[in-house]
Structure 1
Amino acid sequence: MSQEFTIGSKVRVMALPPYVKTADPMPMLRPPDVIHIGEEGIVIDRRPGGYWGIRFTRGFFLLDSQYIESIEKPPESHLE
């Protein structure tokens, strides 16, 4: 089961895929070195096939949820 992210949330790259797909209207495959492990981006949208559109400093790319993790803090519980 793929992880769910909220649109606008921040994510971090945990692992690099064999290639990176651009999120252009006509997607292109790029070598994985256009992004780096630990790089942070913002989730822009959800795409078919379990892909997430993420804006990084070097562009807008599509990544599967297995390669990213949320860096948003979960809401704190006020149970006392």
Structure 2
Amino acid sequence: MKFSVGEKVSLQVPLPYLKTSDAISMLRPPDLVSLDEVGVIVGIRANDLLEVKFRRGNFLIPSERLKIVAMDD
């Protein structure tokens, strides 16, 4: 699946940990982002990693763990 910057996404499955997108990345507990929380893609990195901005921070998440959120009009 192809993603682009600005798309709204959410997690498909829980992750064992979250990796911050800071210059010096840190591993954070997975409960910082719930499955129903919506985030915005702010960057695309190598190896299908997406930088996603959630309410509690920006995290690097593999693209296969994300799904696009349908827009409600």
TM-score w.r.t. structure 2 length? Answer: 0.88
Q: Name 1:20's counterpart in structure 2.
A: 18
How many residues of Structure 1 are paired with residues of Structure 2 in the alignment? 71
Q: Name 2:44's counterpart in structure 1.
A: 46
> Does the residue aligned with 2:47 lie in a helix, a strand or coil?
helix
Q: Name 2:5's counterpart in structure 1.
A: 7
Deviations along 1:26-78, one digit per CA (max 9) or x if unpaired, are 011111111111110000011112110000000000101121101145xxxxx
Equivalent residue in structure 2 for 1:67, among 46, 56, 65 = 65
Unaligned runs of 5+ in 1: 74-80
Unaligned runs of 5+ in 2: none
Sequence identity of aligned pairs in percent? 34
Q: Which structure's CA Rg is the greater one?
A: 1
